[in-house]
Amino acid sequence: MKKLIAAGLIAGSLCMGVPASAHEPAVNDTYDDGVMHPLRLAYYLAHPIGFTAEWLIGRPFQYVISREGLRNVFGWRPIEEDAAYRGGISTTEGM
Protein backbone atom coordinates (compact mmCIF):
# COMPACT_ATOMS: atom_id res chain seq x y z
CA MET A 1 0.00 0.00 0.00
CA LYS A 2 2.87 2.35 0.83
CA LYS A 3 4.46 1.65 -2.55
CA LEU A 4 1.18 2.51 -4.31
CA ILE A 5 0.88 5.83 -2.46
CA ALA A 6 4.54 6.64 -3.15
CA ALA A 7 4.11 5.82 -6.85
CA GLY A 8 1.00 8.00 -7.03
CA LEU A 9 2.78 10.92 -5.39
CA ILE A 10 5.77 10.62 -7.71
CA ALA A 11 3.56 10.36 -10.80
CA GLY A 12 1.47 13.33 -9.65
CA SER A 13 4.50 15.50 -9.00
CA LEU A 14 5.97 14.64 -12.41
CA CYS A 15 2.70 15.45 -14.18
CA MET A 16 2.39 18.82 -12.45
CA GLY A 17 5.70 19.97 -13.91
CA VAL A 18 4.72 19.25 -17.51
CA PRO A 19 2.15 21.53 -19.20
CA ALA A 20 -0.66 19.77 -21.04
CA SER A 21 0.30 21.34 -24.36
CA ALA A 22 4.01 22.11 -24.15
CA HIS A 23 4.36 22.65 -27.90
CA GLU A 24 1.56 25.25 -28.23
CA PRO A 25 2.15 28.91 -27.29
CA ALA A 26 0.01 30.55 -24.65
CA VAL A 27 -3.13 32.34 -25.84
CA ASN A 28 -1.94 35.84 -24.89
CA ASP A 29 1.63 35.26 -26.06
CA THR A 30 1.39 37.33 -29.25
CA TYR A 31 1.88 41.10 -29.30
CA ASP A 32 -0.81 43.36 -30.72
CA ASP A 33 -0.51 47.15 -31.13
CA GLY A 34 -4.03 47.53 -29.73
CA VAL A 35 -2.79 46.43 -26.31
CA MET A 36 -0.72 49.62 -25.98
CA HIS A 37 -3.49 52.03 -27.00
CA PRO A 38 -3.76 54.80 -24.36
CA LEU A 39 -7.45 54.13 -23.75
CA ARG A 40 -6.73 50.43 -23.30
CA LEU A 41 -4.08 51.26 -20.73
CA ALA A 42 -6.57 53.51 -18.91
CA TYR A 43 -9.08 50.65 -19.00
CA TYR A 44 -6.53 48.30 -17.42
CA LEU A 45 -6.14 50.77 -14.56
CA ALA A 46 -9.84 51.65 -14.14
CA HIS A 47 -11.33 48.16 -14.40
CA PRO A 48 -10.20 46.90 -10.96
CA ILE A 49 -11.56 50.09 -9.39
CA GLY A 50 -14.95 49.66 -11.06
CA PHE A 51 -15.10 45.96 -10.27
CA THR A 52 -14.31 46.61 -6.61
CA ALA A 53 -16.83 49.45 -6.39
CA GLU A 54 -19.54 47.24 -7.89
CA TRP A 55 -18.96 44.45 -5.37
CA LEU A 56 -18.36 46.63 -2.30
CA ILE A 57 -20.88 49.43 -2.95
CA GLY A 58 -23.32 48.62 -5.75
CA ARG A 59 -24.33 45.07 -4.94
CA PRO A 60 -24.78 45.57 -1.18
CA PHE A 61 -26.80 48.74 -1.89
CA GLN A 62 -29.03 46.85 -4.34
CA TYR A 63 -29.49 44.09 -1.77
CA VAL A 64 -30.60 46.59 0.88
CA ILE A 65 -33.04 48.53 -1.32
CA SER A 66 -34.58 45.38 -2.79
CA ARG A 67 -35.75 44.09 0.62
CA GLU A 68 -39.50 43.78 0.98
CA GLY A 69 -39.91 46.65 3.47
CA LEU A 70 -37.72 49.11 1.57
CA ARG A 71 -38.90 48.48 -2.01
CA ASN A 72 -41.60 51.15 -1.88
CA VAL A 73 -39.34 53.67 -0.16
CA PHE A 74 -36.71 53.48 -2.89
CA GLY A 75 -39.10 52.64 -5.76
CA TRP A 76 -37.20 49.48 -6.59
CA ARG A 77 -38.69 47.04 -9.11
CA PRO A 78 -37.18 43.89 -10.61
CA ILE A 79 -35.98 44.40 -14.17
CA GLU A 80 -38.48 41.80 -15.40
CA GLU A 81 -41.34 44.03 -14.18
CA ASP A 82 -39.92 47.32 -15.49
CA ALA A 83 -41.49 48.06 -18.89
CA ALA A 84 -39.29 51.13 -19.38
CA TYR A 85 -36.22 48.93 -19.22
CA ARG A 86 -37.53 46.82 -22.13
CA GLY A 87 -38.29 49.87 -24.25
CA GLY A 88 -41.89 50.27 -23.10
CA ILE A 89 -42.96 46.77 -24.15
CA SER A 90 -45.10 45.05 -21.56
CA THR A 91 -45.15 41.27 -21.37
CA THR A 92 -48.67 41.24 -19.88
CA GLU A 93 -50.39 42.90 -22.89
CA GLY A 94 -50.89 39.70 -24.85
CA MET A 95 -52.34 37.70 -21.96
pLDDT digits (tens, 9 = 90+) for 10-29: 776 665 655 555 556 556 66
Reported confidence tier of residue 95, pLDDT bands at 50, 70, 90: very low
3-class SS of residue 37: coil
What are the two backbone dihedrals, phi and then psi, of residue 77, each rounded to the nearest 5 degrees? -135, 145
The stretches of 1-95 forming alpha helices (DSSP H) are 2-17, 38-53, 59-65, 71-74
What global pTM score does this model have? 0.48
User: How far is Cα 61 from Cα 55, in angstroms, rounded to an integer?
Assistant: 10
User: How far is Cα 73 from Cα 67, in angstroms, rounded to an integer?
Assistant: 10
